[in-house]
Structure 1
């Protein structure tokens, strides 16, 4: 269907130009409250408006006794949900539908979800209002126009049933920090409420706000009988909501709760460069932690407070300053998404880009056009073909070039007009077209603005948001039964075209005398001959780019001195200048013991910088020696693991198989834990399972963690060789590998000299094709 640019802009941005919306709250009875900052003065105003709540139905059969003020509109097209029913009071409309469904089914039906996913479609009241009105958040506002407040709780422990809050750090919207303390915990919570009301922020932020602070605060307030009037519309206070990932989150009228942990996870999903997701680790990584930053182990904060309260106050104020910095650094994408999608800002911050962003955009577009929506369809059994991933060589190569294929799958969707079969309006493709065009414009504008300026930040955030949505379009189509317009056949056509492009790309590069190493939808790594300089490298990338389809862009993306190719998407890169880069779980994993990763970095630097096999051997001997002398800290031999089994589940299987992580928790005296909780464990002497406080979970510094040094030395020596050193096996011949990583205390009488040993590169015949799920497959 042909559509004009104006209509496509409405699909992307909405159509109501009302500026300055910072929060929307709506009730099922048709009342909506809209808080706005006036663009000229940034003064806050509140609008109380009425809207007509609505439902989409596949049939009017269950609405035989609909409210007298209810109206319906039959939508065009073959979609399942073809009746748009509105009423003055959404509660009365829902009651009528549930009554009719109960009569039809011959049993009580209490919830809309029980009517049937192919019979009714509903949205939360705020989204009903935003979809119907065409309004979105933050028009004509910059991120720094928001009044943002941060608070962080300091508690005597992690169990809200028995532990309490003794201190609260607050950073106000003007950047001032303070700590609240009172011997009476109930009075302390009232002080927090008063500070929030006095500061009147649009947004409340913290790191792990939804994972810890708000749940703990809600439980303590309930236990103490304190009313948490943290919103802008009085009581009740914190209200639970279910997030896209089925976790309980909290919300209030008039303010948005933003957990910077969501932005950190979203960043690391694509960049894979963070050492952990805890506040301290992320702040250090981004240079937000000052040299005087106070560090205290989470388990000891209360004890330190009783001896040295000023130290804990400094520690807590550092926390909220860093939380504010992370939220600003990584939060721009969610802010920009809220300018597009008809959802609350806080919901977009924790949503996946497919069901969380694309679905609301598609729903709004179809209702704006008066066209019926399809229901979710079950899969027809056609398997989703994974992305092509070629491994051409393993081992160490030198003079490396990366040629980047920018957004390959969205580019192929645009090139060959591949969209979901049931998207008869062509909305998804139109959105991809408009987002790509406007992303390029935003990137260009960002480059024209001074570094660090609010204008540059705004344009960069918009570009990042658009990239998130564009790159999720292919995953949206491939997520069978999870998304409304899923089409596995269209997704498979995209991957087929992607294979064709990769095959052409690799064939043409090889014809120009390079050694291919790895190729996937992100690009190609290859090694060039010694005679090549950077101009030659750029020239062959440019030549091959000219042979690709017009909308598929190949760019010169970097050059490196050396690369260890281990497995598909698992490699190490040594730049010509700068630090070693590690990619893939073989080299970087939140579960890996830090001592092993430190050894790998030292050994890799030796192998990649000068082909120094003896240097790798020395790194290995040094680490074995440090382990046997117990010079390695207990933290550095511990692993961070996620508990996926409930206590009852584990106890039923414990007799058949004992697992280190759960045994460590039990050995610490705990009998309960939460499924999904992370803990840090290690193997102690005698094979015992032991538990350490987790800096990443508790936001402590690793140096503050207790260090008993009671680990099983020989277990970790074996782990060093069999797990970590094994990741270097493709860089050496079998004989050199055995000699390099032989136990220094058990040398063979015929030990091999490494003086002449050199790393190797093994070229695989024709390359090995691996199928992998695209990152975007998981974006729903």
Structure 2
């Protein structure tokens, strides 16, 4: 077996090792490790696709800030000088004497430097080590302890077993593999209800890595038919043997539902490549600490559990797994029920806790494409929504003949037209695969760098989930002590610069983009954390920027949609994600290990100076400033300028910036509505209207209002004020005549209180969504449920969501009655008022008060003597105080 020491001997170029690790082992597609020091690496050959499982050994380890709870274990002290293997030392490194042997095979190495976490402790069995520490600490403190977390965030650095192994070995995922060489499968459940205790799975679409889709169906309505369907799914997974299982909202719906139904039906879910059945839980919170399971309650692990008869599984070390006999490596213990404890919790009424959960199985990575979508939209902010259908349409993945079925009608449609639902489900998994391929490249590339399981990187936060592991690996590789988290000295964080220079409508708009301003300033002025004595963060940022530029160049030179181009684009996206998070990591206070608010404030100070220089120079050359922040500057240009003039001016101003700060010509637009900071609309010379900011895009806004906004803003930006008025009058007429579908006037609300929680506060404050539930005859709901609420006359409200298939007849009748009531009794006056005061008001900055009053006048009170709209034009109002804050040179700026 392969032994992974920690730390290993550094190479001549530590920066490359800090970024990529040091072990060149190719083809790792999944890693599973145990606290007893066994690790299992599933590897795939790039040329043949052959898969095998490699067994390895590592020394479970943690890093402590104190040795006071280890003195009873008779540890062996070792030290390791550069170029030497760890060895016993002839003198103690603390008050404890050096021993020739120790209980649990315990060794302690004191790390170099001033960091608080300085004792690297290795043992034969990690669980036994933690149990001994907790027992000793509990005796010292006079109370029983179940977790290292109870000793404080900086008592110990303790990672999950897989991360211990990857940090120790220097290995990472996917070396030598392209995105498409990793075998991915997509599964999608169709159910009779959204709740697993009230519904069943009746159909599963399963798409294999080669693109072939099978539709698995229950042959009947009862338990036996559904149980056989789940067994078909298990058999399909083991036959297809994917490295990755994914779907859209996999962790939010499919896996919790599947786990619960398997538990209810007593069906073992043998979905992993090793270990027992069931889905295991894993930490999903975006944070720096990793919870330690309580020894008293953790189920026993079965390290050599037999697979089910005929199952494909991992075999002896470095031998092909397909069809070979053999015993499987260990899992994290079989669950007490076939579906697993995770399934019970996921399927219960606490939907809020279910959304926070993630699941895992040995030997496969479980990925949710919804995580890719959220990560993409956080930076791009260009998606119409996060649902699969909306994203697929936006990305051009939707087939022309794509079958669509309303979600609440899927089972009913299946009963009368099963082929239609089969096509619908097959399209779902095809689109999920496409979304993953287009948006999942960053997580795939990060797995080449970061010592974490691939599935954890897919939903990890950039600072604590990506940068922290890189820093920890680098410090332990250098045998250097780690700093503790520090709350800071009370110095406030100064924040980013943001300027709004004008509101209203501007034409001929240019965006000059400052590429990664804060990371560039960190590089330019060497502004890193004071406690990062090795300079790892700045070195990583330097290497990432350089290698990102190289990856972008390679991608441009490669053939469109080729594996090489997709990989390099993914690497570029991943590196951009990490680079742009470096400043946030610096400014995060006690949340990150190497934070430094003083360095962060120096970065923002330089940023304000750079932004001021940009604005002054663009204005001096004839630009009209609109908005500026760390992403760049929007400005309007004179009518006589050509696109070449625009590019020349941006290049001229960019040449005045520090060498490592780059200004790019990022785009041009026919018009822009500037509403408030970071809330604006852009009309390209070609293409659809772009809306940015919560003022124009909100999940809680009524759909009719957002559609009105989109149409009205586009007409405003085209100088068509009579057209804006027509859109408004049409919307008012549709509301008053009740011709809008009820779905267009309903707001989407998430219920954050359970029924008993709302009942406890109802006497003090009544809340519309819960009153709507009760008035609709719905007295039970799950915390976290999403419902659609419509206001009725008389201050009443109702919920217009369709009934569940498994609701009783009375509940179904009440739900249908509520929807029918909403269509005929919604509060017209409220919605007309909201149209003007909530939605139309967002156009006010682009119109004079007189023209705003004329455009959005009550149709029943239109005046013959009001201002005419013939020849009326939008307006732009310059905010002179904002201009003065950046346009005056530093030396001449007035005090205060």
> TM-score of the superposition, structure 2-length normalised?
0.82
Q: Distance in 1 between matches of 2:36 and 2:720?
A: 73
The answer to whether the Cα contact below 8 Å between 1:476 and 1:486 also exists between their aligned partners in 2 is: yes
Q: Is residue 761 of structure 2 the alignment partner of residue 725 of structure 1?
A: no
Q: Is residue 20 of structure 2 the alignment partner of residue 13 of structure 1?
A: yes
**Structure 2 residue ranges without an equivalent (≥5):** 1-9, 74-102, 287-352, 804-817, 887-896
In structure 2, the partner of 1:227 is 268
Q: Distance in 1 between matches of 2:867 and 2:362?
A: 72
In structure 2, the partner of 1:713 is 828
- For residue 481 of structure 1, give the secondary structure of its aligned residue in structure 2: helix
Deviations 1:135-176 (A, max 9, x none): 000000000001111111111111212211111111111111
In structure 1, the partner of 2:232 is 191
For residue 685 of structure 1, report the CA deviation from its aligned partner.
4.1
The answer to whether the Cα contact below 8 Å between 2:505 and 2:674 also exists between their aligned partners in 1 is: yes
In structure 2, the partner of 1:775 is none
For residue 770 of structure 1, report the CA deviation from its aligned partner.
11
Q: Distance in 2 between matches of 1:751 and 1:120?
A: 73
In structure 2, the partner of 1:369 is 478
Give runs of aligned pairs for residues 504-543 of structure 1, distance below 5 A: 504-543=613-652
For residue 314 of structure 1, report the CA deviation from its aligned partner.
1.4
Q: Is residue 177 of structure 2 the alignment partner of residue 141 of structure 1?
A: yes
The answer to whether the Cα contact below 8 Å between 1:388 and 1:769 also exists between their aligned partners in 2 is: no
The answer to whether the Cα contact below 8 Å between 1:389 and 1:770 also exists between their aligned partners in 2 is: no
- For residue 616 of structure 1, give the secondary structure of its aligned residue in structure 2: helix
Task: Flag the 1:421–1:329 CA change in 2: closer, same or farther, 3 A.
Answer: same
Give runs of aligned pairs for residues 245-394 of structure 1, distance below 5 A: 245=286, 247-394=356-503
In structure 2, the partner of 1:49 is 56
- After alignment, is 520-529 or 648-657 more displaced? 648-657
* Higher-Rg member (1/2): 2
Q: Is residue 120 of structure 2 the alignment partner of residue 120 of structure 1?
A: no
In structure 1, the partner of 2:319 is none
Q: Distance in 1 between matches of 2:68 and 2:561?
A: 58
Deviations 1:493-529 (A, max 9, x none): 1111110100111011111121100000000011111
For residue 661 of structure 1, report the CA deviation from its aligned partner.
2.4
Deviations 1:260-318 (A, max 9, x none): 00001111111111111111111111121212222222222222222222221111111
For residue 43 of structure 1, report the CA deviation from its aligned partner.
0.5
> TM-score of the superposition, structure 1-length normalised?
0.94
Q: Distance in 1 between matches of 2:539 and 2:776?
A: 56
The answer to whether the Cα contact below 8 Å between 2:500 and 2:677 also exists between their aligned partners in 1 is: yes
Q: Distance in 2 between matches of 1:766 and 1:325?
A: 49
The answer to whether the Cα contact below 8 Å between 2:545 and 2:575 also exists between their aligned partners in 1 is: yes
Q: Distance in 2 between matches of 1:50 and 1:498?
A: 48
Q: Is residue 696 of structure 2 the alignment partner of residue 587 of structure 1?
A: yes
Give runs of aligned pairs for residues 436-451 of structure 1, distance below 5 A: 436-451=545-560
Matching residue within 741, 747, 769 for 2:862: 747
Q: Distance in 2 between matches of 1:442 and 1:219?
A: 44
For residue 35 of structure 1, report the CA deviation from its aligned partner.
0.1
Matching residue within 203, 209, 214 for 2:244: 203
Q: Distance in 2 between matches of 1:674 and 1:330?
A: 31
In structure 2, the partner of 1:642 is 750
Task: Flag the 1:105–1:362 CA change in 2: closer, same or farther, 3 A.
Answer: same
The answer to whether the Cα contact below 8 Å between 1:72 and 1:83 also exists between their aligned partners in 2 is: yes
For residue 561 of structure 1, report the CA deviation from its aligned partner.
1.1
- For residue 501 of structure 2, give the secondary structure of its aligned residue in structure 1: strand
Q: Distance in 2 between matches of 1:669 and 1:167?
A: 31
For residue 379 of structure 1, report the CA deviation from its aligned partner.
3.4
The answer to whether the Cα contact below 8 Å between 2:799 and 2:819 also exists between their aligned partners in 1 is: no
Q: Is residue 712 of structure 2 the alignment partner of residue 619 of structure 1?
A: no
In structure 1, the partner of 2:597 is 488
In structure 2, the partner of 1:395 is 504
Q: Distance in 2 between matches of 1:694 and 1:567?
A: 38
In structure 1, the partner of 2:96 is none
Give runs of aligned pairs for residues 102-121 of structure 1, distance below 5 A: 102-121=138-157
For residue 639 of structure 1, report the CA deviation from its aligned partner.
2.0
Task: Flag the 1:117–1:769 CA change in 2: closer, same or farther, 3 A.
Answer: farther
Task: Flag the 1:659–1:39 CA change in 2: closer, same or farther, 3 A.
Answer: same
For residue 487 of structure 1, report the CA deviation from its aligned partner.
1.2
Matching residue within 623, 632, 646 for 2:740: 632
Q: Distance in 2 between matches of 1:336 and 1:597?
A: 37
- After alignment, is 60-69 or 15-24 more displaced? 60-69
- For residue 258 of structure 2, give the secondary structure of its aligned residue in structure 1: helix
- For residue 709 of structure 1, give the secondary structure of its aligned residue in structure 2: helix
The answer to whether the Cα contact below 8 Å between 1:244 and 1:350 also exists between their aligned partners in 2 is: no
For residue 574 of structure 1, report the CA deviation from its aligned partner.
1.2
For residue 117 of structure 1, report the CA deviation from its aligned partner.
1.8
- For residue 529 of structure 1, give the secondary structure of its aligned residue in structure 2: coil
Q: Distance in 1 between matches of 2:454 and 2:884?
A: 41
For residue 749 of structure 1, report the CA deviation from its aligned partner.
5.7
Q: Distance in 1 between matches of 2:851 and 2:767?
A: 35
For residue 104 of structure 1, report the CA deviation from its aligned partner.
1.1
Deviations 1:418-455 (A, max 9, x none): 11111111111111000000000000000001111111
Deviations 1:526-566 (A, max 9, x none): 11112212122111111111111111101111111111111
The answer to whether the Cα contact below 8 Å between 2:11 and 2:17 also exists between their aligned partners in 1 is: no
Deviations 1:197-230 (A, max 9, x none): 0000000000000001101111111111111110
In structure 1, the partner of 2:72 is 65
Q: Distance in 2 between matches of 1:362 and 1:541?
A: 37
Task: Flag the 1:494–1:171 CA change in 2: closer, same or farther, 3 A.
Answer: same
For residue 575 of structure 1, report the CA deviation from its aligned partner.
1.3
Q: Distance in 2 between matches of 1:351 and 1:400?
A: 36
The answer to whether the Cα contact below 8 Å between 1:516 and 1:525 also exists between their aligned partners in 2 is: yes
Deviations 1:106-150 (A, max 9, x none): 111121211222211100000000000000000000000011111
Q: Distance in 2 between matches of 1:627 and 1:101?
A: 68
Q: Distance in 2 between matches of 1:157 and 1:740?
A: 46
In structure 1, the partner of 2:43 is 36
For residue 5 of structure 1, report the CA deviation from its aligned partner.
7.5
Q: Distance in 2 between matches of 1:408 and 1:144?
A: 34
The answer to whether the Cα contact below 8 Å between 2:847 and 2:875 also exists between their aligned partners in 1 is: yes
Give runs of aligned pairs for residues 82-93 of structure 1, distance below 5 A: 82-93=118-129
Q: Distance in 1 between matches of 2:389 and 2:463?
A: 30
In structure 2, the partner of 1:469 is 578
Deviations 1:309-353 (A, max 9, x none): 222111111111111111111111100000000000000001111
Q: Distance in 2 between matches of 1:413 and 1:641?
A: 42
Deviations 1:240-265 (A, max 9, x none): 11202482211000000000000011
Q: Is residue 282 of structure 2 the alignment partner of residue 173 of structure 1?
A: no
- After alignment, is 3-12 or 432-441 more displaced? 3-12
The answer to whether the Cα contact below 8 Å between 2:32 and 2:363 also exists between their aligned partners in 1 is: yes
- RCO higher in structure (CA 8 A, sep ≥6): 1
Deviations 1:727-758 (A, max 9, x none): 00011111111111001112246433221322
- For residue 69 of structure 2, give the secondary structure of its aligned residue in structure 1: helix
In structure 1, the partner of 2:875 is 760
**Structure 1 residue ranges without an equivalent (≥5):** 696-704, 772-780
The answer to whether the Cα contact below 8 Å between 2:18 and 2:471 also exists between their aligned partners in 1 is: yes
Q: Distance in 1 between matches of 2:680 and 2:238?
A: 51
Q: Is residue 633 of structure 2 the alignment partner of residue 597 of structure 1?
A: no
Task: Flag the 1:227–1:646 CA change in 2: closer, same or farther, 3 A.
Answer: same
In structure 2, the partner of 1:700 is none
For residue 675 of structure 1, report the CA deviation from its aligned partner.
4.3
The answer to whether the Cα contact below 8 Å between 2:123 and 2:129 also exists between their aligned partners in 1 is: yes
Task: Flag the 1:68–1:582 CA change in 2: closer, same or farther, 3 A.
Answer: closer
Matching residue within 640, 648, 666 for 2:774: 666
Q: Distance in 1 between matches of 2:754 and 2:598?
A: 38
